[in-house]
């Protein structure tokens, strides 16, 4: 079998290297050749990079990565295989594909139930190996996250000009509401607690616990498990659930989930609901997209970032006491700190670039963070946020 082709060209229509069965074609005509694995076919999306060394299954099944191609900076993606427990969402789309440096090796982990390429194929996601991921990451850092088409054909048949045209024609994430595409179809009472080695997922015994209504804009399942662990019972509702329908569930508090796309676009229907909850002083807790939507509802604006933050090693300063939390992040938009009105306090900031990572609405029981405390980096630096929210519910 031919070695993965690592040739990378800046001009469109670059000559295809021998053995190349996969390709990433950027909207500017750049062509990145490699060796395809996983699903066959093609998909369009925004290319981003993730610096985490573990958790590739969680990344690929996180609905926040909808319409994105993930370039992993850690070279040995797939080395621990795949299993049915490390999936963040079974029913909604996540990333459309991934780009890796090394061909996934046979798995070596006692929890593995299969290899990564086969799992990726079953998920309908495309992989591209043998790529200089460092060069691709540097390109994104310098020039921003590009639109691109990723493709895999075992016979190596690719129409590169058509892929360039498709990448150019794609709208990109700005102005795109993806929450409606990844949210669940109906309401459900959440079942299941956090995972423990040798035990699997626990139960969600909810008798007598405060009731949280979680609005699903593209949520990771582990968020709901952590709300249960913190002492809540949880009902999950679709993204476009009306204010009246949320209130009809008699929530002690409302959780605003993570999700993909442009918060300003999702905010067209989400922000009026959140503002209605704020006016009634319903306790609110937002994560990632939910945090951004809370910010918009409170009078701030959001901006598209050049490269975004994606990884499990992002230091965040908690301004109240100077504590630094090691956090997991996945976002390409951010609340603009300069736009925060007088009634909103900035509670957390990124130590990488100073961008906003947390807010609290003054005079209300409402707060949000840009990062993902349920992802357990640190590993428990940020679990207090779930306890803080549940503690507000009375």
Q: Catalytic residue positions?
A: 288, 372, 374
Q: Are 51 and 310 in contact (CB under 8 A)?
A: yes
- Sequence-ordered list of residues with C-beta below 8 angstroms from that of 317, at least 6 positions apart, any chain: 323, 324, 348, 349, 350, 351
Which is nearest to 369 in space by CA: 301, 300, 316? 316
**88 burial class (0-12, 13-18, 19+ CB within 10 angstroms)?**
buried
Neighbouring CB atoms inside 10 A of 265's CB total: 17
Neighbouring CB atoms inside 10 A of 210's CB total: 21
Q: 């929450």: which residue's tokens?
A: 179
The values of phi and psi at residue 131, to 5°, are: -105, 145
Strands 188-189, 31-38: pairing kind: unpaired
Cis geometry, peptide bond prior to residue 379 (ω within 30 degrees of 0)? yes
Rg (CA), the chain: 21
What phi-psi label fits residue 275: left (phi over 0), alpha (psi between -120 and 50 degrees) or beta? Answer: alpha
């Amino acid at each position: 079998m031919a070695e993965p082709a690592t040739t990378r060209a800046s001009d469109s229509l670059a000559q295809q290297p021998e053995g190349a069965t996969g390709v990433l074609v950027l909207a500017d005509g750049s062509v990145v050749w490699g060796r395809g694995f996983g699903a066959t076919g093609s998909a369009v999306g925004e290319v981003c990079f993730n610096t985490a060394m573990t958790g590739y299954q969680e990344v690929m099944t996180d609905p926040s990565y909808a319409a994105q191609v993930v370039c992993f900076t850690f070279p040995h993606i797939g080395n621990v295989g795949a299993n049915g427990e490390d999936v963040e969402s079974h029913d909604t789309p996540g990333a459309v594909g991934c780009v890796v440096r090394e061909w996934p090796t046979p798995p070596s982990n006692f929890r593995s139930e299969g290899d990564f390429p086969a799992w990726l194929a079953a998920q309908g996601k495309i992989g591209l190996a043998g790529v200089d991921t460092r060069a691709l990451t540097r390109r994104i850092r310098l020039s921003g996250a590009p639109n691109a088409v990723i493709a895999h054909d075992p016979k190596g048949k690719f129409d590169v000009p058509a892929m360039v045209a498709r990448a150019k024609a794609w709208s990109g994430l700005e102005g795109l509401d993806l929450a409606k595409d990844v949210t669940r179809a109906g309401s459900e009472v959440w079942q299941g607690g956090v995972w423990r080695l040798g035990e699997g997922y626990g139960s969600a015994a909810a008798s007598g616990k405060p009731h949280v209504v979680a609005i699903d804009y593209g949520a990771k399942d582990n968020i709901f498990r952590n709300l249960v662990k913190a002492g809540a019972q949880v009902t999950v509702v679709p993204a476009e659930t009306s204010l009246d329908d949320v209130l009809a569930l008699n929530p002690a508090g409302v959780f605003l989930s993570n999700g993909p796309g442009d918060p300003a676009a999702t905010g067209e229907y989400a922000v009026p609901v959140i503002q209605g909850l704020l006016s009634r002083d319903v306790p609110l807790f937002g994560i990632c997209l939910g945090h951004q939507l809370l910010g918009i509802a409170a009078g701030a604006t959001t901006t598209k970032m050049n490269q975004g933050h994606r990884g499990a090693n992002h230091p965040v300063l908690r301004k109240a006491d100077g504590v630094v939390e090691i956090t997991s992040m996945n976002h390409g938009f951010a609340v603009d700190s300069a736009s925060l009105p007088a009634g909103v306090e900035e509670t957390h900031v990124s130590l990488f670039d100073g961008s906003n990572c947390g807010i609290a609405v003054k005079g209300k029981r409402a707060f949000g963070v840009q990062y993902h405390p349920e992802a357990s980096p640190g590993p428990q630096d940020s679990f207090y946020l779930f306890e803080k929210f549940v503690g507000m519910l009375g």
